[in-house]
């Protein structure tokens, strides 16, 4: 909507919201509109204008008022409550809650209004322990209890979805158990035998989101890399690649994100082996060489990819650095909500990744 107005010195703003309309009266300051005799003012339909700070400098005053009514589309309360109730009804089980990543997922799930099942799988020495996360008491079950425990939980929560952030050597055993029991899952744990993982899920015809990276913005970067590698294969032929990645010292394997990006560079014509990746796990090196803030030594993900042309005259550098775990936890919850929708819709496709979640606009 455009309105022709005369300049004014001060602002008076009155806004009235109705069920489907907005009405307001506005006086606009000369400094915002410029010194022309006539100016075009545009107003947003989505929210009332922000409060403006009055100017202290005195000027000659001229004033005008504008009245306008804007029609807006308002979602019905029934639709809103229905959507919220679906989220509230979704039960998720987070494995493992003894780890900081699992705890971050629990907290993100609570913030999203999901039901956190008060049980989690862990290592044998943690079996029987109860951990409090976000005000929820969660009982840890050891490896020997897993199958019976999961069957009992599934009986109580038939719509259960599992979010797995355990350790690399547990990936395949856990996935086999989830498939055998018939519990859809989000696999955020990296490592393990990935080919076997996909084969296990495919043969079971179970719904799952499997991704080495759960961070929303990093996923978008990976999607862009994937598109570039498919549209411009060989574009970096002859270039040399250096890859450096730094994570907290408890991360045992090479970053799954780094592996995915390297795969794209290989399709772009770069020759590179995974054992060439520089893994930085020493805290002193992380601070001095990589630049990791000391307070995030126990939870970070820094990646650098440096490309150099054959003659050394051209170079490219890609870098993405994450401090903390919230970006992954929120992405994992988005994936669980996405998976619940696919199950409800009885989608033909069963195995998804975070790029599928991103493409569908399922990020909160």
Q: Are 171 and 189 in contact (CB under 8 A)?
A: yes
Residue whose tokens read 């990589």: 290
Residue 70 pairs with which residues in a beta bridge? Answer: 22
120, 202, 230, 253 from 97: Cα distances, Å:
6, 27, 38, 20
DSSP state of 125: G
Residue 219 pairs with which residues in a beta bridge? Answer: none
Of 128, 147, 99, the residue nearest 250 (C-alpha): 99
Q: How many C-alpha atoms does 186 have within 13 Å on its Cβ side? A: 34
Residue 15 pairs with which residues in a beta bridge? Answer: 24
Alpha carbon distance 291, 304 (integer Å): 12
Q: 96 preceded by cis ω (within 30°)?
A: yes
Establish whether 306 is a catalytic residue.
Answer: no
The pair of structure tokens assigned to 56 is 């202290």
Alpha carbon distance 338, 361 (integer Å): 9
Alpha carbon distance 27, 10 (integer Å): 7
Q: Which of 141, 247, 267, 342 is catalytic?
A: 247
Alpha carbon distance 101, 122 (integer Å): 13
Q: Is 299 helix (H, G, I), strand (E, B) or coil?
A: coil
Q: Give one DSSP letter per residue of 197-212, joined into a string.
A: HHHHHHHHT--EEE-S
Q: Which of 251, 267, 303, 342 is catalytic?
A: 251
Establish whether 247 is a catalytic residue.
Answer: yes
Alpha carbon distance 317, 305 (integer Å): 6
Q: Please provide residue 120's backbone torsions phi and psi, each rounded to the nearest 5 degrees.
A: -155, 150
Residue 130 pairs with which residues in a beta bridge? Answer: 139
Active site residues: 247, 251
């Amino acid at each position: 909507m455009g309105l022709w107005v005369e300049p004014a010195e001060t602002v008076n703003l009155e806004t009235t919201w109705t069920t489907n309309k907005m009405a307001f009266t506005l006086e606009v300051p000369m400094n915002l509109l410029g010194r022309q005799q006539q100016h075009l003012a545009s107003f947003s339909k989505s929210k009332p204008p922000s409060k403006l700070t009055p100017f202290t400098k005195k000027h000659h005053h001229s004033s005008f008022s504008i009245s306008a009514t804007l029609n807006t589309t308002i979602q019905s309360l029934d639709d809103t409550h229905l959507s919220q109730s679906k989220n509230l009804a979704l039960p998720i089980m987070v494995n493992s809650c003894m780890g900081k990543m699992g705890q971050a997922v629990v907290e993100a799930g609570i913030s999203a209004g999901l039901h956190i099942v008060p049980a989690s799988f862990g290592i044998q020495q943690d079996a029987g322990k109860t951990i409090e996360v976000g005000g929820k008491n969660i009982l840890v079950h050891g490896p020997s209890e897993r199958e019976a425990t999961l069957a009992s939980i599934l009986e109580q929560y038939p719509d259960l979805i599992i979010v797995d952030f355990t350790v690399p050597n547990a990936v395949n055993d856990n996935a086999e158990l989830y498939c055998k029991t018939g519990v859809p899952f989000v696999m955020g744990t990296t490592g393990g035998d990935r080919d076997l993982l996909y084969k296990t899920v495919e043969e079971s015809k179970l719904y799952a989101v499997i991704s080495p990276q759960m961070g929303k913005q990093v996923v978008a970067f990976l999607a862009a890399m994937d598109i570039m590698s498919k549209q411009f294969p060989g574009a970096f032929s002859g270039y040399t690649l250096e890859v450096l990645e730094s994570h907290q010292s408890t991360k045992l394997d090479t970053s799954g994100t780094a592996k995915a990006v390297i795969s794209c560079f290989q399709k772009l014509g770069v020759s590179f082996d995974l054992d060439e990746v520089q893994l930085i796990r020493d805290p002193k090196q992380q601070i001095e060489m990589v630049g990791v803030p000391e307070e995030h030594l126990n939870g970070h993900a820094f990646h650098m990819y440096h490309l150099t042309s054959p003659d050394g005259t051209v170079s490219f550098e890609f870098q993405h650095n994450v401090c903390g775990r919230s970006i992954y936890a929120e992405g994992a919850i988005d994936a669980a909500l996405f998976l619940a929708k696919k199950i409800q819709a009885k989608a033909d496709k069963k195995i998804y990744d975070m790029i599928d979640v991103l493409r569908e606009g399922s990020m909160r």
